[in-house]
Amino acid sequence: MSNPWIAIGALAVVALAIPLTMMAVSSLLRPSVPEQGKRTTYESGEVPTGSSRQIKFNIQYYMVALLFVVFDIETVFIFPWTVIYSDAVAEVGMTKALLPMVVFIGILAVGLGWAWRNGAVQWVRSPRATKGADTYE
């Protein structure tokens, strides 16, 4: 009898060996031309001005990204459920097949309502944008 953990361990070793080998080979083969522009913070080689602590990001970008991830994961869970739905209805009945998804979507709806009430989905306009809008009226 063979142990199934041997196959999992071999897969883990291969999963680590391939990327590490590729990184090692690429570091040996690539040309190395160190320049000051390549060592800067920005990928474009642009020389940064000022401190990174002075830049203020709007938290709204992060909230929108977080909401996108939550509802994207919801889609990942709903697709397999829809594929097996007809088989599940035949096996356990409509109520037992539909109830878990209704609860899941209900929890997400409560979360969306909470985010909406707290203003996470409302885009905040900057004072500069509202001032510019007033001048065109």
CATH number belonging to domain 4-30+32-127:
1.20.58
Range picked from 8-12, 41-45, 46-50, 76-80 for highest mean pLDDT: 8-12
Tokens 């897969």 correspond to 11
Spell out the residues 6+ positions from residue 105 whose beta carbon is closer than 8 angstroms to its own. Answer: 74
Which one, of 71, 56, 67, 68, lies nearest residue 118 by Cα? 67
Give dist(CA 24, CA 18) in Å, integer: 10
Q: Is the dihedral of CA 34, 38, 40, 45 positive or negative?
A: positive
Residue 83 pLDDT level (bands cut at 50, 70, 90):
confident
Identify the DSSP state of 47.
P
pLDDT in tens, 4-33: 899 999 999 999 999 999 999 999 998 887
Q: Is the dihedral of CA 49, 54, 56, 72 positive or negative?
A: positive
Burial (CB < 10 A; 0-12, 13-18, 19+), residue 78, is middle
Asked if 64 and 70 count as a contact pair (C-beta separation under 8 A), the reply is no
pLDDT in tens, 114-134: 888 887 777 766 666 566 555
